[in-house]
Structure 1
Amino acid sequence: MSTLEEHVDVGVPVDEIWDVLHQAESYPRFVEGVRQARAEGEGRTRLDIEAGGRSQAFEAEVSDRKGEHLMEWRTTDAPDLAGSFSLQPIDKNSTRVQVRIEYEPGTIRDSFGGPKGFAQANAIERLVHSDLEHLKEYVEQRR
């Protein structure tokens, strides 16, 4: 299993980002490839994505610890992906968003196509970094 961690500092209070992360319908605005997302009941989210020229739907179980500003998620079927968002207040108007993703490189390639080995890790890292930058732009522009 490979693990990727990235972060971005955002110029909004922690509670504003926490609220955005709990609005699955907003994910297409900042997550590359997500065409539609919706909450499917308590602790479940469905994502319709397009990646590597393929359209797929995934369901994820989502849990959170609001007091710690930690949201964890795991796909319920293939591909086996897991991750978390951790929010840390920098000051009253700024927040660090830390993302952690755990994935099996071979499974990602089988599901989405793309490069192998080191090139794949670089592609995933660039994608996650880009998504974090889009999240930053999205929440800062909402103000």
Structure 2
Amino acid sequence: MSTARESIEVAVPAGVAYEQLTHFENYPQFMSGVMSMAPIDASTAHMVLDIGGNRAEFDARITETRPGEFLCWEALDGPQVSEALRLEPMADGMTRVIAELQIDARELMPTEQHAVEVLNRRLKADLKGFKRFCEEAATKTTVNRPVTATPATIARGIASASGLTHATNERPPQGPPAAGNLGPMQHALNRDAARTKQTRF
């Protein structure tokens, strides 16, 4: 058996990374060399892979899981292929993904050394693709998240639509007071005007 080991840090929580790995239908979006992937049921899929220019076809099944921590899948027929993925939570919502890919490459590769080189390149590319896939999916989820309307934002929206808004800390312009609600100064001016009118006659 030829074995390749690689790791990468992904900017999503371990639970999110684990969820993406449990869905075989996601694999063509980040796994290099996938010629076709046909899910059979929730944990099994028919895979056709290009491994170092050689075609490998088999049914694969998820054989072991620990939610948010570990996942392993392996071929049920054809060449012996298996991959174990361990997830280690890190600070700031990051996750280290540690992958180990094993394959019996005697039928596919000319030498053991060649097989290990091919698998290392393949696994490194797969992990980079997985990082990109997870982080882009997380970004889309954040961007498309609906904004919750609070009573304050609703009130501001209504005021804006009716043209009733004004600059912050700025009082709306005051018109003349309505009749019957005159200030003391206006009452005094009215009395003086009335007296002047009387003296003229």
TM-score by length of 2: 0.61
Fraction of identical pairs, as percent: 23
Q: Which AA in structure 2 matches 1:119?
A: H
CA contact (8 A) 1:28 1:37 kept: yes
Q: Residue 12 of structure 1: SS of its match in structure 2?
A: coil
User: In 1, distance between residues paired with 2:81 and 2:29?
Assistant: 21
Superposed CA RMSD? 2.1
- Matching residue of 2:3: 3
- Matching residue of 1:76: 76
CA contact (8 A) 2:25 2:37 kept: yes
User: Structure 1 residues 14-23 or 65-74, which shifts more?
Assistant: 65-74
1:67-120 deviation digits (Å, cap 9, x = unpaired) = 4621111111120112211111112510011111222231332xxxxx533233
* Count of residues in Structure 1 that have an aligned counterpart in Structure 2: 138
Q: Which AA in structure 2 matches 1:13?
A: P
- Map 1:55-70; keep pairs closer than 5 Å: 55-67=55-67, 69-70=69-70
User: In 2, distance between residues paired with 1:105 and 1:36?
Assistant: 20
Q: 1:54 to 1:60 in 2, by over 3 A?
A: same
For 1:122, which of 87, 92, 117 is the aligned residue?
117
CA contact (8 A) 1:35 1:49 kept: yes
Q: Which has the higher helix share?
A: 2
- Matching residue of 1:140: 135
- Map 1:32-51; keep pairs closer than 5 Å: 32-51=32-51
Deviation at 1:54, TM superposition (A): 5.2
User: In 1, distance between residues paired with 2:39 and 2:66?
Assistant: 18
User: In 2, distance between residues paired with 1:4 and 1:48?
Assistant: 20
Deviation at 1:129, TM superposition (A): 0.5
User: In 2, distance between residues paired with 1:58 and 1:77?
Assistant: 5
Q: Which has the higher strand share?
A: 1
TM-score by length of 1: 0.83
User: In 2, distance between residues paired with 1:48 and 1:106?
Assistant: 18
- Matching residue of 1:16: 16
User: In 2, distance between residues paired with 1:6 and 1:48?
Assistant: 22
Deviation at 1:45, TM superposition (A): 1.9
CA contact (8 A) 2:3 2:116 kept: no
CA contact (8 A) 1:25 1:36 kept: no
Q: Residue 40 of structure 1: SS of its match in structure 2?
A: strand
- Matching residue of 2:106: 106
User: Structure 1 residues 132-141 or 52-61, which shifts more?
Assistant: 52-61
CA contact (8 A) 1:33 1:50 kept: yes
User: In 1, distance between residues paired with 2:2 and 2:115?
Assistant: 11
Answer 1 or 2: higher relative contact order, Cα 8 Å, separation at least 6.
1
